[in-house]
Amino acid sequence: MTSSQPNLSPVTGRRIRVLVVDDSMMIRTIVARIFRDEPWIEVVGQAVDGLDVVTLDVEMPRMTGLEAIKKIRAAWPPAKIIMLSTLTESGARVTIDALLNGANDYVAKGTASGSHELPIPRLKHELVAKVRQFFPAQTLTPRLVASSPTPAIAPVSSVGPAPLKAVRHSGTKARRVVAIGVSTGGPSALSDVIPLLPANLPVPVLLVQHMPPMFTRILAERLNSVSPLDVREAAENMPVEAGTVLIAPGDYHMRVTRRGSRDYIALDQSAPENACRPAVDVLFRSVNEVYGGATVAVVLTGMGQDGFLSSRTLKASGAYVIAQDEPSSVVWGMPGVVVRAGIADAVVDVRQVAATILKQL
């Protein structure tokens, strides 16, 4: 594809410029048409200066997605890379590896049922939302679009909830659990946190990463291979023990429950919260019920506000709240609302999160 549009530099008033890379002509055509319906997005045909977003197939015959990521990062480091993944074992493994090696996010091309039919409305919604999440709405200038059967998505608001008065802790508490919530950019962020926690960690780590089934299991396997801690995908009735990291499985909310003197995992498929299942708010609420102020809550990079309301509740109980800072976040949505509301006790670079956790233990 060759663009007839002007080569705009990344300055205020620009449009989001997207390069579509896929070995399937059908996929290239569909994705390009999806983006051309959006007045804030311009599809370009070559990677030149000013490139903003690349959509990249994870499995291509002559150059793998991982190889392409390295070349794109070398040619244009600021570009955002969104992987187009298949909901298969091999597709999930390649996607997780891509996210751990520099990709920013992903969208599944197919359906969990294994159908080969492309769910175009869902693909359109997810692709446009995931491109837009990287760019403040006020920096964009729409282009004129011919009449389209679907309206453009409204600009994403950057205004968070009204600030709350921060709770001051009277002193250091005995912390008994670490609870982590993360979304967009999560695998890379987690690879900067989990491997730095020691094998003799005296508390369990409970973690929600917004991901579909199978992806969470593979993420747990990858993190386990590079971490001194025992990292697993959580299962129903699994004991919650010190020195373990339990990741909520895709499509299941994860809670912690107490029976007698021991704590266990409970999973369910109740309605999504914040359009997510698993949801950070579900986990954090249950953590507050069981551990209250003896919690270290961590909110890492991610789009949206999942985890905000429950972080506020944990804060009121005396928990210590850590938020990832904006420069090290892929998307400063989830941690950003926590910070703007005055909930965070510490706002740190992702590479300092593990050390900040350990200071509380």
Q: What is the CATH number of the domain that holds 267?
A: 3.40.50.180
Point out the domain boundary residue: 116, 139, 162.
Answer: 139
Question: Are the beta carbons of 229 and 223 closer than 8 angstroms?
Answer: no
The residue among 356 and 17 whose pLDDT is bigger is 356
- Same domain as 75, residue 129: yes
What pLDDT score does 65 carry?
Answer: 73
In a domain? residue 161: no
Distance of CA 185 to the CA centre of its chain: 5
- Same domain as 132, residue 271: no
In a domain? residue 294: yes
> For a pLDDT cut of 90, what percent of the chain falls above it?
55
Mean pLDDT on 139-165: 42
Point out the domain boundary residue: 109, 139, 169.
Answer: 139
- Same domain as 207, residue 253: yes
* Distance from C-alpha of 35 to C-alpha of 16, rounded to nearest angstrom: 10
User: What pLDDT band is residue 146 in, cutting at 50, 70 and 90?
Assistant: very low
**pLDDT above 70: residue 97:** yes
**pLDDT above 90: residue 348:** yes
In a domain? residue 222: yes
Tokens of residue 337, six digits? 């609302």
What pLDDT score does 54 carry?
Answer: 85
**pLDDT above 60: residue 245:** yes
Mean pLDDT on 86-96: 86
The pTM of this model reads: 0.81
- Same domain as 223, residue 343: yes
In a domain? residue 163: no
Question: pLDDT tens across 285-330, in order?
Answer: 999 999 999 999 999 999 999 999 999 999 999 999 999 999 999 9
In a domain? residue 342: yes
Point out the domain boundary residue: 139, 165, 198.
Answer: 139
Q: b/e string for 283-313 if b means 16 or more Cβ within 10 A?
A: bbbbbbebbbbbbbbbbbbbbbbbbbbbbbb
- Same domain as 118, residue 42: yes
**pLDDT above 80: residue 220:** yes
What pLDDT score does 110 carry?
Answer: 66
What pLDDT score does 248 carry?
Answer: 98
User: What pLDDT band is residue 160 in, cutting at 50, 70 and 90?
Assistant: very low
Mean pLDDT of the chain: 83
> What phi and psi values does residue 34 have, to the nearest 5 degrees?
-60, -50
User: What pLDDT band is residue 137 in, cutting at 50, 70 and 90?
Assistant: low
- Give the CATH number of the domain where residue 21 resides: 3.40.50.2300
- Same domain as 188, residue 134: no
Tokens of residue 223, six digits? 């993190």
In a domain? residue 264: yes
- Same domain as 183, residue 132: no
Number of folded domains that form the chain: 2
> What phi and psi values does residue 211 have, to the nearest 5 degrees?
-155, 155
Q: What is the dihedral of CA 267, 270, 275, 279, to 10 degrees?
A: -30
State the helix-helix crossing angle for 215-225 and 89-100, rounded to 10 degrees: 50
The residue among 238 and 2 whose pLDDT is bigger is 238
In a domain? residue 4: no
- Same domain as 116, residue 24: yes
Question: pLDDT tens across 104-128, in order?
Answer: 999 887 654 444 455 688 888 888 8
- Same domain as 219, residue 133: no
In a domain? residue 9: no
**pLDDT above 90: residue 91:** no
> What phi and psi values does residue 108 have, to the nearest 5 degrees?
-80, 130
User: What pLDDT band is residue 199 in, cutting at 50, 70 and 90?
Assistant: very high
- Same domain as 197, residue 123: no
| Residues recognised as catalytic | 183, 210, 306
What pLDDT score does 140 carry?
Answer: 56
Q: b/e string for 321-358 if b means 16 or more Cβ within 10 A?
A: bbbbbeebbbbbbbbbbbbbbebbbbbbebebbbebbe
- Same domain as 349, residue 213: yes
- Same domain as 281, residue 193: yes
Q: Show the domain range for 133.
A: 16-139
Question: pLDDT tens across 34-86, in order?
Answer: 888 888 888 875 333 445 788 888 766 666 777 888 888 887 788 889 988 87
